[in-house]
Amino acid sequence: MKNVKKRCSIGLALVMAVSALFCGSTGITARAAGNEEIAPEDISVTWEDSRVYTELTLGYYETMTTYGVKGYEDVPFVSVHEYLDILCKGRERIRMEDGVMTVIVNGAEAVIDPEADSIRIDNPARFCSYGNVDGAIIEDDEYNVITWSVKNESVQQEADPVVIDLAAYHMPVVAFEDTVIMPFLALQNTFGSIRMKNDLAYNGKDYFNVFEAEKFVVMNNNMAAKESPYFKAMYSGPFSEKTETTQAYADYGYYSVCLLLDLTFGHKEEKNIPSFDEYFTRMNAKEAMCSTSPSSALMAEIMLFNYLFDSGHDSLVSETNVFRTAGAMDPADAGDLADSIRESEAGKELFGDSPESTGPAAGQNPAVDVIMGALLEKGFKLPEIVPLFVWGYCLQNVRPEDYGSQRLDYADDTAVIYFNAFKDNTSDRKPSYYLDPITEEDAENSTFAFFYRCFEDIQQHPEVKNIVINISDNGGGAAAALVSVLGFLSEDGEVRITDRNMLSGNYREECYHVDTNLDGIADDQDGFGGQYDFYVLCSGSSYSCGNALPYYAQQGSLATVIGAKPGGGDCVVANFTDAYGRCAVYSGMLKLGTEDGGVFVSDEKATVPELNMMPSVWNVLSVPWFDAEGIADAVHQYQNGVTELVYNDKSDEEKLTEFLTGLLERIEKVQQKEAAKE
């Protein structure tokens, strides 16, 4: 679900795992909680006209005042009025009474109390967006061929109010003149994150959409964009002249991370995290994250998103920061870190005294404590995401060359629709398909448009009785595209998505209609269920939306699931931007699944194929993942009563040799192509 396909290397973490086997945990003394009274004379205007670039252009911006507060050096304070006016595009209503601010958005009420340093939101889901379901998985700007269902009513449980104690995060709420001012990230990591708009980074003067900028580089594999005017402006503010921060700013950076993840991380319960302050303390990361060196917290964030969170939705996207310090750790530093761990007391106990070790003693390098603490926290287990990487690696190396990212094939009475990502261009594509018909470019950028074209073609083939949706190496994408595909599989264009908002605590059934025939009418003429027998082919590489499609297809009896068990990914992806401008993605507060008898079960591991095409891990090379004729044969076997495929009886050694030989041949071909280019 809006999955960013990039993960930083976790090799260093795994290498360090053995050396940290017996390390202990050293407690970090917590800084004093609570906020002192802030007098009006302690507040000054730092910048009257800080520019706020919410879009990826320097030609459009809004402005707001940035304040400085004594005792919080370099920490940007901003007006709640001004921030929310930009965030909510002027649709909020605000009133002040006895120094207490009340904000109303979509009918949801938020009360900001300076005396208690708190925010109370009665319905965080509705504060995000309002429709038939509050904070639905499909956002307003994604409605085009998808509409709310009239035939089936969407329902939701009552949401729980959320009270945010900002004093616990050392973030004062200050009544000032006719408004309330707060640290910028106190606002962005509450109101902004709830509305999934926590994209901005402060560079000492202005605010830039660093998350979308860095995502653009990653998604388009366009490193040249780093030299663009936008990036240069973003990373050339007053902070770029500083090699270290004030302690106040370092603490602000740390507690802002705790605030964001406490509110919106969807797997707190599974990870046994009562609070992230406690979590970072027990894994020895707090000291590094509170360091005045902006790069010191980097290792903690790498270990957090790329190792401890341990899912395909969690990854550091950008390591660059707005201060004048190095970003990513040089791989050559890994040797020094390894030596540091060997020199530690735990390392000596594990390895014995090693005369070859020349690194600094433990405690002189905070990264050592972070790595050892993370490994201890995880219990030295191999990350659960490793099978996902292995699956991706295997399928990448058995997929035929020039196979493409999506295609339609025919074999006998079976059509196979293959695509490797769920795409939706509704927000960018103007006007809609109802005015400007679908083009080839649309079919490349929109899963709905691609499926529309596929079914146009399939209807010209009367011999087709079976349609297989091949998502065997599909890593996810846009939720709107997921709903679109389910609309084609349904008998009447109706789609039912069930989920739970982990912040507001309410379970919801979201009912949509997909206008699959583009006649502008949401009726029973939409959908192709009943006209064809549908199958969904998935594997351990089917992730996020690729995990949700077989789940909802199976739950709604829309299709038969074949192949292997999908890879998981039950939470909608959330944005992370820290005080230094580093960006990550992680498992957010909206979790897909079904409630049964008052117990919510996510879709993470709920789908079991009805035709097991891979009874043994060795069969991964035998399954016809990309062979339409082989897929059609598997469907026919299932229709004849087979529930598990049987392959020729090669030995494991033969299969391994065959795979490695083919892999080496592919590597050699790639090398030859690269050499030819040079």
Instruction: Summarize pLDDT for 293-332 with one digit per residue, the tens.
Output: 998 889 889 989 999 999 999 999 998 999 987 655 544 4
Among residues 493, 483, 490, 454, which one has the least CA distance to residue 470? 454
Which own/partner contact pairs does 557-560 have at CB distance under 8 Å and 24+ positions apart?
558/486, 558/489, 558/490, 558/529, 558/534, 559/469, 559/489, 559/534, 559/535, 560/533, 560/534, 560/535, 560/536, 560/610, 560/611, 560/638
Greatest CA separation for the chain: 82
- Answer yes or no: are the C-beta atoms of 56 and 209 closer than 8 Å: yes
Task: Give the single-character DSSP code of 66.
Answer: E
Instruction: Summarize pLDDT for 19-53 with one digit per residue, the tens.
Output: 333 233 322 222 223 446 899 999 999 999 999 99
Tokens of 440: 């080839």
Task: Give the single-character DSSP code of 188.
Answer: I
CA separation, residue 222 to residues 3, 16, 219, 225 (Å)? 18, 32, 8, 6
Tokens of 136: 């639905």
What's the rounded Cα separation, in Å, for the pair 567 and 587?
A: 15
CA separation, residue 158 to residues 107, 122, 133, 139 (Å)? 14, 10, 11, 20
pLDDT of residue 147: 95
- Of the chain, the percentage scoring pLDDT greater than 90 comes to 72
pLDDT class of 12 with cuts at 50, 70, 90 = very low
What's the rounded Cα separation, in Å, for the pair 443 and 449?
A: 5
What's the rounded Cα separation, in Å, for the pair 73 and 478?
A: 41
Backbone CA torsion sign across 374, 379, 380, 384: negative
Among residues 27, 26, 28, 12, which one has the least CA distance to residue 345? 26
Tokens of 552: 């909802």
pTM: 0.87
pLDDT class of 265 with cuts at 50, 70, 90 = very high
Cα 475–chain centre separation = 12
Among residues 605, 588, 608, 593, which one has the least CA distance to residue 496? 593
Tokens of 459: 């209807």
What's the rounded Cα separation, in Å, for the pair 71 and 2?
A: 40
pLDDT class of 343 with cuts at 50, 70, 90 = low
pLDDT of residue 299: 86
pLDDT of residue 32: 28
Number of H helices, E strands in the chain: 21, 26
Neighbours of 644 (CB within 10 A): 12
CA separation, residue 596 to residues 155, 319, 509, 600, 674 (Å)? 15, 42, 13, 6, 54
Instruction: Summarize pLDDT for 84-125 with one digit per residue, the tens.
Output: 999 999 999 999 999 999 999 999 999 999 999 999 999 999
> Which stretches within 352-430 are classed as H helix?
366-378, 386-398
Q: What angle do CA 312, 184, 244 make, to 5 degrees?
A: 80
CA separation, residue 355 to residues 335, 343, 359, 369 (Å)? 15, 10, 11, 22
